[in-house]
């Protein structure tokens, strides 16, 4: 007789364990293992309840052949359409993840209203908020008059039965996947089993009807409910909505997209009237600059296809500690250690007696190695107390040997810098020669040591200017 087995499933990463443990071996999170029954669980596909049958032969095809462009529904909210790669794709499932309160429901309400006003059938199902709360938000957003179909419901079968009535919907928004539950699985809503089974049912609905579905997923720290990661592999696209507490702008980042480019970002600003598009993010990130203080360097970065200028701030201060402190916000800590090591080993700059703090202004997060040169410049500037030229941008990767390496899209970075009034640039030698930024002083070091010497040498120049040197 088959025994009714139970399993322990990590609510963070979805790994199945046979035995309970305090820590998940797979992702290293603590207290995330929860006992769940096996029915409707992992591997329970659509056919698992049917008796074993002989397989059907499917026709093979070739790699070449007719391709159609994915049919899209364009919301008209430029930054959202940019992140989705040109609009929601019919018959696809999109996951929008983010911390609670970041603005996911606000963004999707605005998108729903925009699409419904264009004549699309848009259904918004909320499992989190009551209808009155959603209406209140819609009023605040000035979207109350648009013909969005609204329901507060959490059972997947009921939702599918409801939206199957009448004309096929163009877009179905489910806020959030963690509140949904299906009759097919018997664990509590929010567990990995329920989240996966519900997502699977909805994705099957999208594929079979051609409606686009959007699943909202909360990022969870405590692991009490399953995070969006457990459905990332099932959906066609994943967008994360990010922002730092205390900053009012939000970044919609494309992490996965089966129908378009990844690494694209959409930038928004949260206001009293909902999310406003920010068409030129560089102006926003450079808004509150104090160009005259040492330790600040402007990095000319790329986010997907778009250049973004952002200020990198470093503070290097004498440390009272045996092991000095290194703290990073918005960049990779390991990468900072590497830059510090290269500065010590190849440029004779010593940080071993100093605390080092590095911050990317405005809560922006950089993942590009191209920021190396800007980080190094900010660090040296702070250590020496010499401010960098205010009208200069920096980009370039630094190798462990201390050499400055080329990065992609030099032309676009320089164009953006020029547009925003920057007159000079420090960039790798051999970057696509195009005339932009070269007229007004481009400095092209091959070694990091050259840049360090230039910054240190500016003491003499600035002192002479101020008449301090004779
Ligand atoms: P919400 O969309 O409910 O977040 P999520 O769905 O990601 O949990 O947004 C919540 C926050 O946004 C809330 O703190 C209030 C703020 N907000 C505004 O500042 N302006 C607005 O117009 C709206 C609708 C919300
Ligand atoms: Mg919400």
Nearest CA to ligand 1 atom 22: 274
Ligand 2 centroid to residue 206 C-alpha, Å = 22
**Whose CA is closest to 154, among 188, 122, 121, 120?**
188
Mean pLDDT taken over the chain: 86
Q: What number of CA atoms fall less than 13 Å from residue 406's CA on the CB side?
A: 9
* The predicted structure's pLDDT at residue 406: 92
pLDDT for 469 beyond 50: no
Task: With beta carbons less than 8 A apart as the criterion, state whether 267 and 241 touch.
Answer: no
Report residue 131: phi and psi, to 5°: -55, -40
* The predicted structure's pLDDT at residue 39: 53
- The percentage of residues in the chain with a pLDDT greater than 70, rounded to a whole number, is 89
pLDDT for 306 beyond 80: yes
* The predicted structure's pLDDT at residue 463: 45
In total, the chain counts a number of residues equal to 470
Ligand 1 centroid to residue 273 C-alpha, Å = 10
CB of 98 sitting under 6 A from ligand 1: yes
CB of 76 sitting under 6 A from ligand 1: no
- Among left, alpha and beta (phi > 0; psi -120 to 50; other), residue 384 is alpha
Query: Predicted confidence band at 462 (pLDDT cuts at 50, 70, 90)?
Result: low
pLDDT for 69 beyond 80: no
- The percentage of residues in the chain with a pLDDT greater than 90, rounded to a whole number, is 53
Query: Predicted confidence band at 245 (pLDDT cuts at 50, 70, 90)?
Result: low
Higher pLDDT, 456 or 44: 456
CB of 101 sitting under 6 A from ligand 1: yes
Nearest CA to ligand 1 atom 13: 101
pLDDT digits (tens, 9 = 90+) for 415-449: 889 888 888 999 998 765 555 544 457 889 999 99
pTM over 0.75: yes
Ligand 2 centroid to residue 102 C-alpha, Å = 8
Report residue 302: phi and psi, to 5°: -125, 135
Nearest CA to ligand 1 atom 8: 101
Query: Predicted confidence band at 3 (pLDDT cuts at 50, 70, 90)?
Result: low
* The predicted structure's pLDDT at residue 38: 62
Question: Best mutation site among 97, 102, 103, 246 for ligand 1, i.e. most ligand atoms within 8 A of its Cβ?
Answer: 103
Task: With beta carbons less than 8 A apart as the criterion, state whether 202 and 194 touch.
Answer: no
Ligand 1 centroid to residue 106 C-alpha, Å = 6
pLDDT for 48 beyond 70: no
CB of 113 sitting under 6 A from ligand 1: no
Locus of tokens 């999707």: 108
Cα gap 375→359, rounded to integer Å: 10
Give the least confident one: 57-61, 192-196, 211-215, 225-229: 225-229
Query: Predicted confidence band at 47 (pLDDT cuts at 50, 70, 90)?
Result: very low
pLDDT digits (tens, 9 = 90+) for 150-164: 999 999 999 999 999
Question: Best mutation site among 80, 106, 228 for ligand 1, i.e. most ligand atoms within 8 A of its Cβ?
Answer: 106
Query: Predicted confidence band at 42 (pLDDT cuts at 50, 70, 90)?
Result: very low
pLDDT digits (tens, 9 = 90+) for 92-117: 999 999 888 899 999 999 999 999 99
Of ligand 1's atoms, which has the minimum distance to the CA of residue 106?
Answer: 2
């Amino acid at each position: 007789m088959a025994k009714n087995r139970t399993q322990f499933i990590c609510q963070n990463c979805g790994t199945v364990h046979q035995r309970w443990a305090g820590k998940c071996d797979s992702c290293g999170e603590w207290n995330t293992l929860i006992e769940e029954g096996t029915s409707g669980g992992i591997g329970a596909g659509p056919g698992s309840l049917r008796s074993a049958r002989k397989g059907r032969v499917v026709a093979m095809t070739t790699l070449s052949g007719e391709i159609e462009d994915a049919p899209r529904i364009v919301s008209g909210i430029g930054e959202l359409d940019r992140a989705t790669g040109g609009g929601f794709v019919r018959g696809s499932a999109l996951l929008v993840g983010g911390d609670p309160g970041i603005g996911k429901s606000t963004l999707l309400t605005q998108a729903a209203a925009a699409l419904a006003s264009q004549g699309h059938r848009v259904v918004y199902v909320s499992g989190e908020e009551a209808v009155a709360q959603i209406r209140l938000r819609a009023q605040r957003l000035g979207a109350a008059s648009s013909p969005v179909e609204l329901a507060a419901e959490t059972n997947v079968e009921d939702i599918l039965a409801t939206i199957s009535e009448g004309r096929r919907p163009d877009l179905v928004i489910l806020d959030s996947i963690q509140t949904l539950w299906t009759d097919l699985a018997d664990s509590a809503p929010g567990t990995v089993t329920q989240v996966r089974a519900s997502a699977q049912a909805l994705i099957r609905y999208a594929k079979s009807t051609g409606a686009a579905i959007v699943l909202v997923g909360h990022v969870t720290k405590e692991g009490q409910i399953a995070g969006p990661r457990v459905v990332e592999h099932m959906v066609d696209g994943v967008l994360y909505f990010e922002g730092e507490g205390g900053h009012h702008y939000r970044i919609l980042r494309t992490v996965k997209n089966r129908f378009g480019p990844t690494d694209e970002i959409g930038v928004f600003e949260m206001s009293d009237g909902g999310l406003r598009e920010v068409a030129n993010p560089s102006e926003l990130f450079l808004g509150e600059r104090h160009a005259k203080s040492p330790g600040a360097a402007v990095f000319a970065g790329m986010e997907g296809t778009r250049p973004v200028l952002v200020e990198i701030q470093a503070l290097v201060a004498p440390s009272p500690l045996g092991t000095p402190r290194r703290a990073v916000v918005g960049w990779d800590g390991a990468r900072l250690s590497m830059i510090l090591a290269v500065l010590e080993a190849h440029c004779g700059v010593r940080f071993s007696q100093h605390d080092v703090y590095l911050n990317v202004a405005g809560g922006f997060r950089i993942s590009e190695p191209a920021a190396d040169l800007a980080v190094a410049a900010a660090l040296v500037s702070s250590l020496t107390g010499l401010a960098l030229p205010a009208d200069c941008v920096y980009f370039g990767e630094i190798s462990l040997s201390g050499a400055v390496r080329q990065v992609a899209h030099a032309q676009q970075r320089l164009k953006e810098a020029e547009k925003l009034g920057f007159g000079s640039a420090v960039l790798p030698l051999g970057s696509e020669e195009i005339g932009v930024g070269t007229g007004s002083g481009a400095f092209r070091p091959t070694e990091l040591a050259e840049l360090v010497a230039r910054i240190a040498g500016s003491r003499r120049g600035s002192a002479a200017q101020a008449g301090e040197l004779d």
